[in-house]
Amino acid sequence: MNLSEHSSILIVVIPLIASFVNIFLNFLQRKLCYPFFVLVLGICVALSIDILYQVINFGIIRYRLGGWMPPWGIEYVIDHLNAYLLVIVSSMSFIVAIYSKESVKKEIPKSKLPYFYSTYLLLATGLFGITVTGDIFNLYVFLEIASLSAYALVAIGEKRSVLASFHYIIMGTIGACFYLLGVGYIYIITGSLNISDLTRLLPSLYESKVTLTALAFFIVGIGIKIALFPLHRWLPDSYTFAPSAVSAFASATVTKVGIYVLIRISFTLFEPRFLIEMTPLSNILIWWSTIAIFFGSLIAIGQKDFKRTLSYILITEIGYMVFGINIGNKEGFIGAVLHILNDSLMIGCLFMIAGGVFYRIGSRNIEDFKGLNRNMPITMASFTIAALSMIGIPPTAGFFSKWYLIVGAIKAGYLVSTAALIFSSLVNALIFFRILEKIYFTKNDNTFMYNFRELPISMMIPIVITTLAILMIGFYSGEIISSVIRFSLPKGF
C-alpha cells in the first residue's frame, strides 16, 4: 500500500483518533500520554512535508473521500497554498507541543493534563481539516471543531480566562453561524458545495443578490474568526489569560488559518474581479484593515501586560494580511502569504517567551522584565531577534513580508495604508525597544527574587528553533516565493 497517496486524509484522521486514544491511555498509563501526543504531532509534520513535496513535484492533489465523485462527495483539494499552510500549522503545533511539557505543569492541574493534550490534538485536527478540505460545508464542520477546542483550551487557563472563553464562545458562534448562512445562500443559488464546482458555477450568477448576501455573510463570519478590527473583542482577553502554550499555539495558527479561508473565499470561490471590480468589498476591507493597523498599534502601546501587548500586535498583523490580500496586486498578495508564515513564527516565538518569563518569575508585567538578560541570556537573545523581526529590520523574516506589503500598497496607490504600515512598524519599534531597554540596560534592584537560571531545556529548544527559523526564512524568502507562493497567486494577478 502506498501511504503517500493517502497522506491528505491521514493528516486529519491521525490526530482525530489520537485525541480519543489519548484519553484511554490516561487510564492505562498516564506517563505515556505526553510522548504519544508529541509523536502524533511529529507524524503530522512528516505527512505535511510529504504533501508539500508531492504538490511541488506532481501538482495539485485531489483526494476523493470514499471514492465518491466530486460534486456529490467530499473532496480534499491540496494546492500550493494549502500545502504551505499545512506545513506551517503542523510544525507550529509540533514545536509548541514540545514547549508545552514544562510550561503547562505550572499552569494546569496535573489530573487535567491528558484532557489538555486531547483537546490540543482536536484543535490541530480542526485546523488541518480546514486547510485540506475542498468543500465549504465540510470546512464549516472543521471550523467548529477547531473553535470548540479553542474555547475549551482557553477556559483551562487562569481564573479570568473562563469569562474570556465565554465571550469567545458567543462571538465565535455568531461568526460560525454567519459562515453557515453564507453556505446556505451559496447552496440555494448553485446547488453545490464543492469549491472547484462552485468556481465554475458562480461567475454566471455574479449579478444575483443572493451571491452578494452569501459573500457578505462569509466575510463577516470569517472576520469574527480572524478578529479583524471591529470584531476583535474576544481576542485580547482570550489570549492573555489562556495557558501560555495555548496562547502560543492559537495565536500562531488559528488566525492564520482564518486568513487562509478568507483567501479561498475571495479568490478561489469567487474570482478576483468580482471582489475588486464588481463589488466595493475589497475597498471596504482595505479601509477596515488600515483602521485595524492604526488601532491595534495605538492600543498596544498603552498595555502593561506583555501577553496583552502581543494580542494587540496580533490584531495589527491580521490587519496587514487582510490588507495585503485585498490590494489586488502581486506584491501585496505575496507579502500577505509570506506574512502568514513570518507572523506565525514571530508571534508564536514571542508568546512562548512570554510564557517562559511567566514560568520563571510568575509575572507578565513588562516592568518585571528588568535585567532578565543576566538570568536568561539565550531566551532574551531569541526575544531580541523576534522583536527585531516584528519591527521589520533586515535580515530577519519580518522585513521581507513588510517590504512586499509596502511595495504593493505604493503600487496600488493606497498612501494612507502605506502610512499605517510604517506607523505600526514605528510603534512596534517603540514597544520592543522599551522592553529591550528594560532587559539589557536596567539594573534589577531586587536580586533576591530573581535568583534563577535559564529555562528548562524542553522550553528552550522550541524558542531557539523558531528564532533560527525567523533568521533562516529571512535569508531564504526568495526561494519560498519562487517555489511555493508564486504558484498560489490567483488568476489575473
Partner 1 sequence: METVIGKYNYWIYIALMMIGFYAMIAKRNLVKKIVGMNIFQTAIILFFISTAYKKDATIPILIKSQEVIDPAQYINPLPHVLMLTAIVVMVSTFGVALAVIMMLYNQYKTLDEDEIIEILRKKK
Tell me how far, at minimum, the Cβ of 163 lies from partner 1, in Å. Answer: 6
- Cβ proximity to partner 1, 7 vs 119, nearer residue: 119
- Other Cβ atoms less than 10 A from the Cβ of 461: the count is 14
- Site membership for partner 1, residue 152 (CB under 8 A): yes
- Site membership for partner 1, residue 241 (CB under 8 A): no
- Considering only the stretches 47-55, 171-179, 365-373, 414-422, report the one whose residues sit in contact with partner 1 under the rule CB under 8 A: 171-179
The residue from 12, 95, 148, 300 that contacts partner 1 (CB under 8 A) is: 148
SS3 380: helix
- Site membership for partner 1, residue 222 (CB under 8 A): no
- d(C-alpha 248, C-alpha 92), whole Å: 9
Are residues 76 and 9 in contact, defined by beta-carbon separation less than 8 angstroms?
A: yes
- The site for partner 1, by CB under 8 A, has a size of 25
The residue from 26, 173, 199, 483 that contacts partner 1 (CB under 8 A) is: 173
- Considering only the stretches 54-62, 106-114, 173-181, 272-280, report the one whose residues sit in contact with partner 1 under the rule CB under 8 A: 173-181
The residue from 159, 209, 443, 453 that contacts partner 1 (CB under 8 A) is: 159
- d(C-alpha 149, C-alpha 141), whole Å: 12
- Site membership for partner 1, residue 13 (CB under 8 A): no
- Cβ proximity to partner 1, 154 vs 263, nearer residue: 154
Sign of CA dihedral 23, 24, 29, 35: negative
- Cβ proximity to partner 1, 53 vs 137, nearer residue: 137
- Cβ proximity to partner 1, 78 vs 152, nearer residue: 152
At which residue does the C-alpha cell 495589527 appear? 316
- Site membership for partner 1, residue 121 (CB under 8 A): no
SS3 470: helix
- Site membership for partner 1, residue 170 (CB under 8 A): yes
Tell me how far, at minimum, the Cβ of 186 lies from partner 1, in Å. Answer: 11
- Other Cβ atoms less than 10 A from the Cβ of 492: the count is 10
- Site membership for partner 1, residue 155 (CB under 8 A): yes
- Considering only the stretches 13-21, 156-164, 222-230, 301-309, report the one whose residues sit in contact with partner 1 under the rule CB under 8 A: 156-164
The residue from 46, 60, 141, 381 that contacts partner 1 (CB under 8 A) is: 141
- Cβ proximity to partner 1, 98 vs 202, nearer residue: 202
C-alpha cell belonging to residue 463: 524558542
Whose CA is closest to 8, among 71, 58, 41, 51? Answer: 51
- Considering only the stretches 155-163, 263-271, 281-289, 351-359, report the one whose residues sit in contact with partner 1 under the rule CB under 8 A: 155-163
Are residues 266 and 275 in contact, defined by beta-carbon separation less than 8 angstroms?
A: yes
Whose CA is closest to 55, among 75, 85, 22? Answer: 85
The residue from 188, 284, 426, 449 that contacts partner 1 (CB under 8 A) is: 188
CB neighbour class for 43 (10 Å; exposed up to 12, middle 13-18, buried from 19): middle
Tell me how far, at minimum, the Cβ of 365 lies from partner 1, in Å. Answer: 14
Eight-class DSSP state of 160 = T
C-alpha cell belonging to residue 364: 507578565
C-alpha cell belonging to residue 224: 469574527
- Considering only the stretches 24-32, 161-169, 294-302, 409-417, report the one whose residues sit in contact with partner 1 under the rule CB under 8 A: 161-169
The residue from 53, 63, 115, 187 that contacts partner 1 (CB under 8 A) is: 187
- d(C-alpha 95, C-alpha 42), whole Å: 9
Which residues are CB-neighbours of 258 under 8 A, at least 6 positions away? 222, 225, 226
- Site membership for partner 1, residue 305 (CB under 8 A): no
- d(C-alpha 126, C-alpha 148), whole Å: 9
Distances (CA, A) of 485 to 45, 201, 331, 404: 19, 26, 11, 13
Which residues bind to partner 1, rule: CB under 8 A?
137, 140-141, 144, 148, 151-152, 155, 159-160, 162-163, 165-166, 169-170, 173-174, 176-177, 180-181, 184, 187-188
